[in-house]
Structure formats: structure tokens, C-alpha cells
A and B are shown apart, each in its own frame.
Chain A
């Protein structure tokens, strides 16, 4: 078996002394899309914040292609290749779209081929090329999400984490976004995606995990999870 793109073992983390995550195990095989599903407050964003280095974990281990990214400061985690597009987009609203994207290319590796990556992001989201000089605050929610994903791509991630990319988007924009994510996967990239659109994301994902109250309760291929009675009852209302 090849080295996993991302391997998380027995991760405990939370705010202050309070554990939100209680012993998380998570494995992402290279070049797969993995969905992370869970209700509000289950700890999905806490997991991403911990992996990104914004939150200091209490214990456990996290490895990116066999190298530990545990307890590194956020910019080092990005440099190693774990990049997240945060929940709620978190754009720099006082800056132009182009500048928002350029900010994403901070590390040396990304900076060296910045113009090329920018061109690729514009190919993926042509609307951003047209509007690159405009202020990021002038965009619709869907377009802002494109900027957020584009900004993460600018860092040349090996593992890209998307935190609720479809939040607040019109259904048509969600479809387009998922098409784009499928295209991004062709870039030899591993994707971890947190979603509320459980049905849609599981159809696309190679593998899925279900997080409940800080513990992984279920995992399996997208098709397996979609067929699971507990999941159907809790998340799809079937």
C-alpha cells in the first residue's frame, strides 16, 4: 500500500482544556476525494483548524505523505502542502480578486510558478479572469467561493481541504462548484471536503467519514455510506 496523502491517528483537540475531537482516525489515499460528514458542532471545522495549525492539538499524530505536520505553525503546514479553503470563504474583502489569489502563493515553491498557477486558476474559473481587478466584496457568494478555492490552489496544495464550499450558494452554483472540484481532482491532488450536501458529496467522493460528537462513527466508500441506514436516517432524512 502506498503512503497515505494524509494520515491522522488518535487526534485529540479542542479549545482550552475542552476536548472537541476525541481520538480521530482519518486516512486519505493519494488522488482521492474524501468526504467528511457531520452535524453542526460535530467538530469538522475544529479538525481542519487543528490540522492547519490554528489550533494546538492535545495529542495524536498527523502526517502528510509520511511527514509529520503536527504542531507546525500554519504557514509551515501550508508550505508542506496541506492547504484549506476555510468555512465562510474568509476573503480579503479590501483587496482585488487578483490580489486575493496572489496572497495564496506565499511559499517559495508556489511563488516560483505563481503566474502559471494563476493562469490555471483562471482557466478553472474563467469569470475570475474577467473580474480580477474588481474588489472581492463585489462578487456573488458563488464567485467568492471560487476565489477562496482559487486562493488555496495558488499555494500548490498536495492535500486540499474544502470547508463547506457550497454554504450559502444557489443550487446551480453548487452544481458548478462540484464540477470544478471534479476538475481540480484531475490535477493530481487529494481533496478532503466537508459538506452539508451529503447526497451530492457522497456521489462524488471516493470515500467518506462520518463525524459525530468528536468521534468518527462510520466510514466507507461513497456508495456504502449512501446505502447505510443510520446515515440515510440522520443526514438524508430517508
Chain B
């Protein structure tokens, strides 16, 4: 394999990997704070993609403009899914010191419901958004870099940095970190834990609202696209360290590059085998993830 192809694969891997990291941010945040593995994570991304697609198809809005709608929409969806569907679990388990593992099953149910509602409403057809940016590239040292992917990559870095900053410096961010560390102590300090959970879940989904719109220029949309992203996000989060925001980006980059380079040697579908191989290897060597605390 020549160097040019390889560097092209690495660059492409970094770009898509950054986007994987950005998509996984919400999963990591939600798990870090609530100890809930949101199985429906990918479904919310799919929902954001359909939302962006619909705004383009009906109103002719550019996907990047539709961000103004998808982000608040997904925040509201997340806020209410937590407030209405998931929070009864926490209330039921309030009296006991139990981590709500049942939340995994519950969110798996949310995944089934959301995916099937979308399938019922839109059918299994593959849809795509035709905008100019899909085909635009800039050239760096003779290598073409797809603009839409570059924007997605940069967005992931910016969102990760902004989220870290906000968590560190805002009042709500402090309440979220306190709740993540010790739910009971947070309650006893007067933090409204249910509200913190609602906001956290809403935020985690709002990030998906952004990436859904950033993905549609170069990703076809189907009702079941969510699952593959959900599984990748899970991989990314475990690779990078659960609950760690920089870890999420790092895990994404690693997975992206690995996938992209591996698919130069084998078919893209078999490359997934190697991704999971990498996953197992890292879990064996560093069970807490690359940036996680053991």
C-alpha cells in the first residue's frame, strides 16, 4: 500500500472518528451522571437526522440551518423521555441503594418504540439530502479533505471543549458534577436531582440534534441507522473511559482511524471485526478505558 492511500485513509478516519466522538458525547455524559446506559442513544440521532431531512425536504432548509431546530427539539425530547419514562425508576429505587440496571432494559424499549414509529411513518426507504457541500473538498498538501466531514470533526472538538468548560464553570454544571459523584449527598445539599437528570439527558440528546444535522449531507438516512451509531458510540465511550469527555473524542478518533485503515486491507464490513477486536484488547489491558479512572 502506498503512502498516499494510507494518509488519505488516516485523514478520513480522523474526520469520521471525531464525529463518532461527538456523537458519543451524550452517551458518556448521561452514563457518567446517571449511571444509565442509554440504549436508545442511536435512535435519538436517527430522529435528529429525520428532523433535519424533513426540514430540508419540506421547507428547503439547509441541514446546517436546521440545527437551530434539531438541537432544541432533541433537548426537549431527551428532557421528557427522562422526566416521563426513566424517572419513575429512580423514584421507585429511591429508598434503596441500587444502581438502576433496569434502565438499560427500559431504554432498549425506547429504542424499539422510536425506531418502529419512524419505520411506520416513513417506511424503510433510504433517504438522502442533496446539498452542494457533500461534494466540496479542500486540499491540504495535495490531499482532498471533505468539507462536510471536516465541519463535523471541528464541531465535535468545539462541542467537547464547550461542554467541559460549561460543566466546570456554570452553576448547573457544578450541580451536575456533584450529582454524578454522589447522588444522595447532592440531594442533601438541596440539589433537585430529578431536574439535574432531566437537563443532563436533554443535553446529551441536544448534542445528537447537532450531529444528526451535520451527518445528513453525507450519510443516508434509514429508520435503523441509529443502532449502528449507538453501538459505535458505546464502543467509543468504553474505549475512551466512561464519563470522560476528552476520552469520548479520543475513543472516537481511535475507532475512526482504526476502521478506516483496516478497511484498506479488508472489506469495510469485515473491518468491524477488527474494531471489536481492538475493543476487547483495550478492555483487557485498560478496563477503565483510555482516559477513565479505574
Could you tell me the distance between the alpha carbons of A99 and B178 in the complex, rounded to whole angstroms?
9
A interface size (C-beta, 8 A): 32
Cross-chain contact B189 with A104 (CB below 8 angstroms): yes
- The 7 residue pairs across chains A and B that have the minimum distance between CB atoms: A78-B190, A106-B190, A74-B187, A90-B185, A75-B192, A92-B181, A103-B178
Contact of B95 among A16, A79, A94, A99 (CB under 8 A): A16
Binds B, one of A49-57, A193-201, A210-218: A49-57
Cross-chain contact A83 with B188 (CB below 8 angstroms): yes
Interface size class of B (residues with CB under 8 A): 20 to 34
- Closest CB of chain B to A130's CB: distance in Å? 22
Specify which of B188, B191, B192 lies most central, judged by the most chain A CB atoms within 10 Å of its CB.
B188
Q: List 9 A-B contacts (CB under 8 A).
A: A74-B193, A86-B184, A90-B182, A93-B181, A94-B181, A99-B174, A103-B175, A106-B189, A106-B192
* B96 touches A (CB below 8 Å): yes
Query: In the complex, what residues of B have CB within 8 A of residue A74's CB?
Result: 187-188, 190, 193
Cross-chain contact B174 with A102 (CB below 8 angstroms): yes
Q: Would you call the interface of chain B mostly helix, strand, loop, or mixed?
A: helix
Cross-chain contact B174 with A86 (CB below 8 angstroms): no
* A91 touches B (CB below 8 Å): yes
13 other A-B residue contacts (CB within 8 Å) besides A73-B194, A95-B181, A106-B189: A15-B96, A74-B187, A74-B190, A75-B187, A78-B189, A86-B185, A90-B184, A91-B185, A94-B177, A103-B189, A103-B191, A106-B192, A107-B190
Cross-chain contact B184 with A151 (CB below 8 angstroms): no
Query: In the complex, what residues of A have CB within 8 A of residue B190's CB?
Result: 74-75, 78-79, 83, 104-107, 110, 155
Q: In this complex, what residue of B is CB-closest to A93? A: B181
Query: In the complex, what residues of B have CB within 8 A of residue A90's CB?
Result: 182, 184-185, 188
- Closest CB of chain B to A103's CB: distance in Å? 5
Query: In the complex, what residues of A have CB within 8 A of residue B178's CB?
Result: 92, 95, 103
Query: In the complex, what residues of A have CB within 8 A of residue B193's CB?
Result: 74-75
* A145 touches B (CB below 8 Å): no
Could you tell me the distance between the alpha carbons of A55 and B184 in the complex, rounded to whole angstroms?
11
Could you tell me the distance between the alpha carbons of A83 and B191 in the complex, rounded to whole angstroms?
12
* A190 touches B (CB below 8 Å): no
- Of residues 49 to 85 in A, which have CB atoms within 8 Å of B's CB atoms? 52-56, 73-75, 78-79, 83-84
Query: In the complex, what residues of B have CB within 8 A of residue A107's CB?
Result: 190
A106 in contact with B187 given A15-B95, A54-B94 (CB within 8 Å)? no
Cross-chain contact A92 with B177 (CB below 8 angstroms): yes
- Of residues 125 to 169 in A, which have CB atoms within 8 Å of B's CB atoms? 151-152, 155
* B278 touches A (CB below 8 Å): no
Query: In the complex, what residues of B have CB within 8 A of residue A75's CB?
Result: 187, 190-193
